Chain A
């Protein structure tokens, strides 16, 4: 019987969800009636327009890029002719240009530093700026904004006039930025924002200093989410020492201990606070500190953790404990954790770390680069990545090949086997080599020509050693074994390079 469970029609892939589509700029909506919008104008002193052309890679047709798109936003001038923008704005950029609001003068810029998790990027002029920044004053960062503080958003009008709208911080909490993986400090603000052109990620200012960047605005509830000054400061400090390390993470999943029966089972007394550690991520800070599943975290850096996983922050009040690691500490700094283990308090300490995205078996995100891939005679191999799975649409968790979705969450076994990346057979292009294999795809490659495939370079090497003029490809799933003719494959490779597919390169291994 022929069961083709994993059918990957590679011709209908162009609607993939890239980073760009997920970005929600403040939404334009009719102004709410009867509510006066308090807007004042002034002279622009610190903002430049930033025009970005971006072109993400296609995650399902890995040799192609999607069609270029444009983003226009504002950048904040910082000391040293550096321009701060969100990473969303410049992700997958092919061309970045600064524009003086009033005169319309332009200057090409390039990326100096970027952190996609913290959603921040720093630009610098690509050419000598001459007097481009003359007349502009760099902003400094304020990190002390708190609940109840009055802030302003700055926007630029058509001729460069500064439009100021008031906001007020009404909550400080830890939420997602742009990537699903990262939780960071945010301010939630109330206040009506009328959006002008160039309104992508607006600066939020307190007393003439930069207090944050507006990430999202919900016009229905008139609430905004602001990436706050402390995170910006953290990013800039990290950049300043020349070697960017990123934000540390604890690497645990935890459960609240509000359930009295559960607390009693865990041996927690009535007034023991703390949260139950349900997962300790591989290669995370917590693992290196010796935190174990089943531990109850009682304290972090001397701060008591309550049953919900919150601590009392001196500035913000009740806040999720992840901020202790994320916002208040740097990679390489010491972290002290007190846990309850088998009824006894245990003190743990060690250095905070961050797992680099390239060290994950499955790429968590891909910006400014496409997926590694290799094409042999029409069979398309690529690295398994979250963007690849997410390209199956909103409900990718059930619409992408289920086994790959499962695998992406269960990488331990593969890591034990020595795999560095998971190479998948993604699809088969119609060639002579792939006759009969049209509907094959979506399976992890285990061996090629008898050699273990632990990453794309292994695959590249293995294809140099055909046996008896044949390549043998072993897959984890249906149909388990594929054979292709080595000579036919080479001649098809040439056709793919020069023929209708116009594939620029048969492989990308970075």
Chain B
């Protein structure tokens, strides 16, 4: 289950090494298997990715070329598991094994940004034939030893580090920034380049190394994606399509206060967690209400802190949803105004939350007219433009909580004005939310593209109304239509819009 994260106090670094930061020996000579190097590990491969990082400030351009490397491992015939962040935005992938001098071109089969996992395959399956897939185990116990195998910085050949399982907990996955799943924390060194690599116990995979703490915040803290998450991914894609995690889209509030127990009519037995928010467009919308108390979920007792007991360990109740798929049902027992009720929820995704997360493998969408650049609001956009405008920040921050997505499925922002004599009096109105164009209320970026063509009134003017900005932006069409190609030429803009149709 994906979780909506509004505040992340943690600074994570994805353990993915970008080339150029490390010394790269040139030699790539075939070498015989090193003594003691188990052949079983030949399926643990180095993945080299070249990618284009889209620039949301100049969305018409292809982006900035870059490259990096990570680790992957064979899970089945010519199918390799790695992190989504290793292969995101990639234009070219190459697999290298430990002892094979040949680079092998590879491609993405499935990619799951919400749990930072991807499956890739070599274009030529023959190469993988001699390789042995690794086997999956379960969740490792606390204080048991694990090793992390991969191709981190510091050299070209395979590296092994060792440590123990420090913690099993729900954690934010930094790749999307908005999803939380079960995570295992280990104290083995996990470094850039380890990303996607297997974490082994008794020769079997117990996780995928994926992120750690950066800087001086904490030491020897590395996180791995545990087997339940990997298995869910494998099961999800087994029908040929990745359907994503499902979401209850509710917010709970722990019950610690005796007054809550009394007011909500609970027995003082530690059972039940209060619901403080329900997204009406989510799976629980209309079925669970604010102030309801969840007593159990699929028969698992939910305690006051929102945890349930799984295999003897306390774990977030969302773990039940985590292991389910689109269309699955769960039964939630609630207490509403002192009355027990059973509610059946049909699981689905809650899409508006994606706006708040990092997006990958997406070409930035935009509309440019007479130097005015319109783009839909999302996290990438907010970061790239460094938007400080309080209103835009408020809308971004409250996009879910104030259900702004209902009125504006896409919040369109006038992000930039490419200066020209036609728009020189409009400078200063950048970073505003577009409310209306030529009398049409703007709900999506497409609306902008269509509305710009509309001739309102006598059609002499293009009129753009910005949310809470104090005057309409007005362009005289006979000037702006002429200026438009001129501006595109001056600023090297190849196409005046990309609406995501291709």
Where the two chains meet, the residues of A that have a C-beta atom closer than 8 Å to any C-beta of B are 1-5, 7, 253, 255, 258-259, 261-262, 264-265, 276, 278-279, 397-398, 402-403, 405-406, 433-437, 468-472, 477-481, 483-485, 488
Is there contact, CB below 8 Å, between A402 and B425? no
Does B253 have its Cβ within 8 Å of any Cβ on chain A? yes
Contact of A405 among B4, B6, B394, B425 (CB under 8 A): B394
Where the two chains meet, the residues of B that have a C-beta atom closer than 8 Å to any C-beta of A are 3-7, 180, 250-260, 262-264, 274, 276-277, 290-291, 306, 316, 318, 388, 390-391, 393-394, 397-398, 401, 422, 425-426, 460-461, 463, 470-472, 474-476, 479
The residues of A that contact B474 with a CB separation of less than 8 Å are 259, 261-262, 265
A427 to B471, CA, bound (A): 39
The residues of A that contact B397 with a CB separation of less than 8 Å are 5, 402-403
Minimal beta-carbon separation of A431 from chain B (angstroms): 11
A484 to B257, CA, bound (A): 8
Contact of B390 among A253, A397, A468 (CB under 8 A): A397
Task: Identify the closest chain B residue to A471 (Cβ).
Answer: B259
Is there contact, CB below 8 Å, between A1 and B470? no
Is there contact, CB below 8 Å, between A435 and B256? yes
The residues of A that contact B422 with a CB separation of less than 8 Å are 261
Is there contact, CB below 8 Å, between B394 and A402? yes
Task: Identify the closest chain A residue to B5 (Cβ).
Answer: A3
Is there contact, CB below 8 Å, between B257 and A435? yes
A402/B461 contact (C-beta < 8 A), A478-B251, A483-B257 known: no
Other than the given A262-B425, A480-B291, 4 more pairs (CB < 8 A) read A1-B318, A403-B394, A406-B398, A484-B257
Minimal beta-carbon separation of B372 from chain A (angstroms): 13
The residues of A that contact B316 with a CB separation of less than 8 Å are 1
Is there contact, CB below 8 Å, between B390 and A405? yes
The residues of B that contact A468 with a CB separation of less than 8 Å are 262
Is there contact, CB below 8 Å, between A483 and B394? no
Task: Identify the closest chain A residue to B425 (Cβ).
Answer: A259
The residues of B that contact A259 with a CB separation of less than 8 Å are 425-426, 474
The residues of A that contact B258 with a CB separation of less than 8 Å are 435, 485, 488
A471 to B471, CA, bound (A): 47
A259 to B475, CA, bound (A): 10
Minimal beta-carbon separation of B331 from chain A (angstroms): 20
Is there contact, CB below 8 Å, between B6 and A470? no
Contact of B251 among A2, A279, A406 (CB under 8 A): A2
A406/B394 contact (C-beta < 8 A), A1-B251, A278-B470, A485-B259 known: yes
A405 to B318, CA, bound (A): 33
Contact of B461 among A3, A265, A279, A472 (CB under 8 A): A265
The binding surface of chain A is classed by DSSP as: mixed
A470 to B291, CA, bound (A): 15
Is there contact, CB below 8 Å, between A403 and B398? yes
A468 to B263, CA, bound (A): 9
Task: Identify the closest chain A residue to B276 (Cβ).
Answer: A479
A469 to B258, CA, bound (A): 12
Q: Give the most central of A406, A433, A434: most B CB within 10 Å.
A: A406
Is there contact, CB below 8 Å, between B390 and A398? yes
Q: Give the most central of B263, B306, B390, B425: most A CB within 10 Å.
A: B263
Contact of A488 among B4, B259, B463 (CB under 8 A): B259
Is there contact, CB below 8 Å, between B425 and A2? no
Is there contact, CB below 8 Å, between B471 and A278? yes
Is there contact, CB below 8 Å, between B388 and A3? no
Query: 21 A-B Cβ contacts within 8 A?
Result: A2-B251, A3-B5, A3-B251, A259-B426, A261-B475, A262-B425, A278-B471, A402-B393, A402-B398, A403-B398, A436-B255, A437-B257, A468-B262, A469-B262, A478-B253, A478-B401, A479-B274, A481-B291, A483-B260, A483-B263, A485-B262
Minimal beta-carbon separation of B465 from chain A (angstroms): 11
Contact of B4 among A1, A262, A433, A434 (CB under 8 A): A1
Is there contact, CB below 8 Å, between B471 and A483? no
Minimal beta-carbon separation of A443 from chain B (angstroms): 11
Is there contact, CB below 8 Å, between B425 and A1? no
Task: Identify the closest chain B residue to A277 (Cβ).
Answer: B470
Is there contact, CB below 8 Å, between B6 and A5? yes
The residues of B that contact A5 with a CB separation of less than 8 Å are 6-7, 397
Is there contact, CB below 8 Å, between A261 and B256? no
Q: Give the most central of B318, B401, B426, B470: most A CB within 10 Å.
A: B470
The residues of B that contact A479 with a CB separation of less than 8 Å are 251, 253, 274, 276-277
Is there contact, CB below 8 Å, between A264 and B476? yes
The residues of A that contact B251 with a CB separation of less than 8 Å are 1-3, 478-479
Minimal beta-carbon separation of A462 from chain B (angstroms): 16
Task: Identify the closest chain B residue to A489 (Cβ).
Answer: B259
The residues of B that contact A472 with a CB separation of less than 8 Å are 263
Q: Report, nearest first, the 4 A-B pairs whose CB atoms are least far apart.
A: A436-B256, A278-B470, A259-B425, A479-B276
Minimal beta-carbon separation of A337 from chain B (angstroms): 18
Minimal beta-carbon separation of B93 from chain A (angstroms): 35
